[in-house]
Structure 1
């Protein structure tokens, strides 16, 4: 335990000394613990009181030719261990967002249209920009690929989200489907069909 504290203190010291100023912004009381990799650091904005856990990979690199490339993580958010967040145009994570471990978030895909070339040698394909609304929670092993998540949503473990999810929804599965939505008229969570329409009981 003492060894871990000393190691974290040393890492924090050198991180603050050499890397913190390289971000577009790195807010107060924020901490990034032993990242796996950071690419395009000048395009990354970290808000205040953000914790990014062990071995997360952050990237904001305009591989698709976008004039502006950004990765923004809002105030108070908690990013789990081994997350992989890769923007080629724009990924915006709101305030007080919680991600579990091994979450993948991307606004791009590998091209695969040319069958005469290995996929790894084909260009990166830009898809829709990504946003995660304030107060949302992404469960373990969730993949968000070119989709927008509303505020105060729950995305169940192992879900793959490729279509937008509105505010106050619970979505699960691969591909993810909405199963519940908060009803503002009754102040209760209600079951829905896959399009988010309330089921008649």
Structure 2
């Protein structure tokens, strides 16, 4: 009970003092004790969004893009210790659920020059990130520069480096589709690694 009261108080104070620094910050949204927030003016938070404990949100144009944005859609719930870093564009749809320790990025550190420590090399812009409405992202997932469709399930510990269509279940590092929703039979069906339905 005590911690619930403290969390609610912190969320209310955050909305009162900080929401005006965001590009937009919807009603009934809260961010609980963030680890860090960079580039607030580039971050849009929808209505009824929950961002849990010690998450790091960032939208900073380190790759010199004209536009930099991080958008979290209405009703989405971001877990504890997430790290979401946009240098161009990350758009998280509505009613997306992420578990704890999820990493989402649209950029990578350069590492090509072996004579220069990676920390001193440039940041490279890769594909923009879009996560479709209603998708569920499991614990310890990494999503790097890709688009994920709506109502997908991304299994725990997956590393997603290729686009995922709507209505898919993916696992693995690198990730691959193991199930897709079949509208002909109105059920989830297993697939092979090419994404084709397995005939039983």
Establish whether TM, by shorter chain, passes 0.5.
Answer: yes
Structure 2 match to 1:63: 62
**TM-score, normalized by length of structure 2?**
0.97
Residue 78 in structure 1 maps to residue 81 in structure 2: no
Structure 2 match to 1:35: 34
Partner SS for 1:19: helix
Alpha-carbon displacement from aligned partner over 1:105-159 (angstroms, at most 9, x marks no partner): 0000010011110000001000000010000000000000011110000000000
Alpha-carbon displacement from aligned partner over 1:25-67 (angstroms, at most 9, x marks no partner): 0000101000000000000000000000000000000000100
Structure 1 match to 2:89: 90
Structure 1 match to 2:185: 186
Contact 2:81 2:100 in 1 (8 A): yes
Partner SS for 1:91: strand
Structure 2 match to 1:117: 116
Q: How many residues align?
A: 200
Find the aligned partners of 1:107 and 1:16 in 2 and give their Cα distance: 27
CA RMSD in angstroms comes to: 1.0
Find the aligned partners of 2:109 and 2:115 in 1 and give their Cα distance: 15
The structure 1 segments of at least 4 consecutive aligned residues displaced by more than 3 Å after TM superposition are: none
Instruction: Give the drift of 1:8.
Output: 2.3
Instruction: Give the drift of 1:7.
Output: 2.5
Structure 2 match to 1:48: 47
**TM-score, normalized by length of structure 1?**
0.97
Gaps of 5+ in 2: none
Partner SS for 1:196: coil
Structure 1 match to 2:99: 100
Structure 2 match to 1:139: 138
Gaps of 5+ in 1: none
Find the aligned partners of 2:50 and 2:76 in 1 and give their Cα distance: 7
